[in-house]
Amino acid sequence: MLIDLKKITKDYHVGTQTVHALREINLGIDSGEYVAIMGPSGSGKSTLMNILGCLDTATEGIYNLNKSNVSELNDDQLAEIRNREIGFVFQTFNLLPRATALHNVELPLIYKGVSAADRKKRAEAALDKVGLSDRMTHRPNELSGGQRQRVAIARALVNDPSIILADEPTGNLDTRTGDEIMEMFEALHDEGNTIIMVTHEEYIAEHSDRIIRLRDGLIERDEAA
């Protein structure tokens, strides 16, 4: 199993109150799966994605990623795991505004310590893969929304991660562009990538193999799409 969550709990303390964002979640995801996470606002989707993506750690419970326990790593160890194992695609793209598409895609490789020549080659290949070989030197504000999201996908892919995590990747796009992006995820899935995606839209979730529905920090349903 690629991902194995055992009794994952996440509490937030706001003033004197405690918010239980996740309550003893058990979840297993295999390599190569395409999973959609759904649920009403405030149900804990983002919290779960943050934990899966090693941006945050659970209050209690055990998270095994690739058979190693990542529940109690420190900040820098988590950063290294994110760099190696996780590719993020965000709703708001989250590209560096002043950097070119190529530089944005190179960034994870910089933190991995890849040499300049190698970095360039790999970033160019990733941009080529998302169909942006003619936009390498453009900055985000010179690209359309769909193109920006494709740069973000190239950045997520460039380090060959174990998991691609996407939090509402089509939320800021029109329907047609959104469909193009969904086709791209499908192609990535067909190549054997593991994809976990948060979405509000049933028709988007339909693209996946498996839908996990959250409510009040609990898994309400977990079924094949």
Partner 1 sequence: MRSWIEIVEGVKIALGAIRTNKLRSFLTLLGIIMGVSTVIGISSLTQGLDKTVGEELSTLGSDILYVAKFPWTERIDFEEYRNRKDITMREVEALKERATLAVGVSPSVDATRTVKYRNKSLENVSISGTDEVKTGNVYPVLGRDLTAADCEHRRSVCVIGWDVAENLFEDKDPIGQRIKISGHTFRVIGVLEKQGDLFGMNQDQSLKIPIGVFFKLFGHRRSITIQIKVADPLVLEEAKDEIRGILRQVRKVKPGEPDNFGINQMDMIMNLYRSLTGGLYAAAIGVGAISLLVGGIGIMNIMLVSVTERTKEIGIRKAIGAKRRNLLWQFLIEAVTISVVGGIIGVIIGFGLGKLVAAISPLPATVTLWSVLLGLGFSSSVGIFFGIYPASKAAKLDPIQALHYE
Ligand X SMILES: Nc1ncnc2c1ncn2[C@@H]1O[C@H](COP(=O)(O)OP(=O)(O)O)[C@@H](O)[C@H]1O
> Interface with partner 1 by CB under 8 A: which range of 86-94, 130-138, 190-198, 210-218?
86-94
Select 79 or 125, whichever has its Cβ closest to partner 1.
Answer: 79
Q: Give yes or no for residue 9 binding partner 1 (CB under 8 A).
A: no
Q: What track of x and - describes contact with partner 1 for positions 25 through 64 (by CB under 8 A)?
A: -------------------------x--x-xx--------
Q: Hey, which residues between 166 and 205 contact partner 1 (CB under 8 A)?
A: none
Please, where are the H alpha helices in 73-215?
A: 75-85, 101-112, 116-129, 145-157, 175-190, 202-205
Gyration radius from the chain CA atoms = 17
In this structure, the dihedral spanned by the alpha carbons of residues 74, 77, 83 and 84, taken in order and rounded to 10 degrees, is -130
Query: Residue 35 in contact with residue 205, Cβ under 8 Å?
Result: no
Distance (Å, whole) CA 109 – CA 99:
15
- The answer to whether 162 contacts Mg ion (rule: CB under 5 A) is no
Considering beta carbons, is residue 46 or 71 the nearer one to Mg ion?
46
Q: Which two tokens stand for residue 207?
A: 């693209």
Question: Using CB under 8 A, which residues numbered 129 to 168 contact partner 1?
Answer: 155, 159
Alpha-carbon distance 129 to 117, whole Å? 19
Q: How many CA atoms lie within 13 A of 60 on its CB side?
A: 9
Q: How far apart are CA 186 and CA 124, in angstroms?
A: 21
- Piece of 4-12, 35-43, 74-82, 216-224 that binds partner 1 (CB under 8 A): 74-82
Q: Which of 32, 42, 46, 84 binds Mg ion (CB under 5 A)?
A: 46
Q: What string marks each residue from 193 to 212 as x (binds Mg ion by CB under 5 A) or -?
A: --------------------
Residue ranges that bind ligand X, judged by CB under 6 A: 12, 14, 19, 21, 39, 41-47
Q: In what order do the strands lie in the sheet with 210-215?
A: 86-89, 163-167, 194-198, 34-38, 210-215, 218-224
- Look at the alpha carbons of 65, 219, 186, 82 in this order and tell me if their dihedral is positive or negative: negative
Residue 76 touches partner 1, criterion: CB under 8 A: yes
Please choose which of Mg ion, partner 1, ligand X, none residue 108 contacts, taking the beta carbon within 5 to 8 angstroms, the exact cut-off set by kind. partner 1
Residue 204 C-beta: closest distance to ligand X, Å: 15
Q: Least distance from C-beta 91 to Mg ion, angstroms?
A: 9
Question: Applying CB under 8 A, which residues contact partner 1?
Answer: 50, 53, 55-56, 75-76, 79-80, 82-84, 88, 90, 94-98, 107-108, 110-113, 115-116, 155, 159
- Which residues in this chain contact Mg ion in the complex, by CB under 5 A? 46
